[in-house]
Amino acid sequence: MDFDTLDRIRSNDHRYLSRVISQIENNAEIPDTFFQQLHDHANQALRLGVTGPPGAGKSTLTDQLIQQIISDGKSVGVVAVDPTSPFTGGSLLGDRVRMNHYIWDDNVFIRSMASHGDLGGLARKAQDVGDILATSGKDVVIFETVGVGQGELDVAKAVDLTIVVLVPESGDEVQLMKAGLIEIADIFVVNKSDRQGADRLAQSLKSILHSTTKKDHLEPPIYNTSADRNEGISELYKGLTNLTEVMIEKGLMSQKYSDRHRNRVLNLIQDRLLGKFWSQERLDQLEASVHNLSMTNESPYKVVKRLLDSANE
């Protein structure tokens, strides 16, 4: 595969975009120069994360947001991360339906991306894919992830703005705090507001946010929606647009951008150093010591010392 040219990405060739994303998905070796070239073109898009518990209606909501975005004369790229996880059995089909719906539309690009259980790499992949879609000229890039673990929450670090989707069944405040969903949200959506308990959830969220939002931070707004009947969606879209403007004005977007930049460098260094360190030989040494452990009872610290010493030789 030829990574030397930006032209096919910049010309918004969806088949090519999909091929490059597959390479990233499959951990193919891609030269750094490829990503370096993207950098100058990748800063125009608004990157949105849509996250929340399994089955909360993230895909349905994203679908409605796509409609809003294209009616607003803008283009959008959507990546649904890890639809093969055991939690998300239903979404792959849903994603296929959506894909077919927009297959001839140059303004809408949708695809799924499996994490292959490699959650550590997810934030990096989301950044890289975001760069590709931004370079293709998409005005908005959406990442749909299931918010059930650290890897998924890391995706929040790859975006400008995170929408956390909850439903009346999502549980009480304590559970939400524990799940780490409160602190990553810039906007809350209480979806399935056609169901009982939606107002109560919105109220209790509001009171936690009121007491937990730090000074100099914006208190995340809450929107009630019923995504499957397109209720509350245009209000959400308007709110999203307003919030984006406010965040730009207050310098919060550039703050997020610098945080992303820093995180990205930290993550890349970590990945590379670890990748270099764990040669087959060291992995074999580790395995050997694991098998020895029960016999010689060698301390893990001793194993570490030996492995690190061998790194310095």
Q: What are phi and psi of 50, to 5 degrees?
A: -120, 110
**274/288 Cα distance (integer angstroms):** 19
Task: Give the nearer residue to ligand GTP in terms of CB position, either 94 or 239.
Answer: 94
Which residue of 51, 59, 162, 193 would you call a contact of Mg ion, by CB under 5 A?
A: 59
Which residues 72-111 are close enough to bind ligand GTP by CB under 6 A? Answer: 88, 90-91, 94
Task: Give me the helix-helix angle, 233-249 and 252-277, nearest 10°.
Answer: 90
| Cα dihedral sign, 55-49-212-192 | negative
DSSP 256-292: HHHHHHHHHHHHHHHHHHHHHH--HHHHHHHHHHHHH
Supply 106's token pair: 């140059």
232 binding ligand GTP? (CB under 6 A): no
Task: Give the nearer residue to Mg ion in terms of CB position, either 59 or 115.
Answer: 59
192 binding ligand GTP? (CB under 6 A): yes
Q: Which stretch binds Mg ion (CB under 5 A): 90-98, 114-122, 194-202, 227-235?
A: 90-98
Q: Which stretch binds Mg ion (CB under 5 A): 50-58, 153-161, 209-217, 292-300?
A: 50-58
| Tally of CB atoms within 10 A around 113 | 22
Q: Which stretch binds Mg ion (CB under 5 A): 84-92, 98-106, 149-157, 226-234?
A: 84-92
Of 178, 182, 202, nearest to 190 (Cα)? 202
Task: Give the nearer residue to ligand GTP in terms of CB position, either 88 or 267.
Answer: 88
Contact footprint for Mg ion (CB under 5 A): 58-59, 91
Contact footprint for ligand GTP (CB under 6 A): 54-60, 88, 90-91, 94, 146, 191-192, 194-195, 226-228
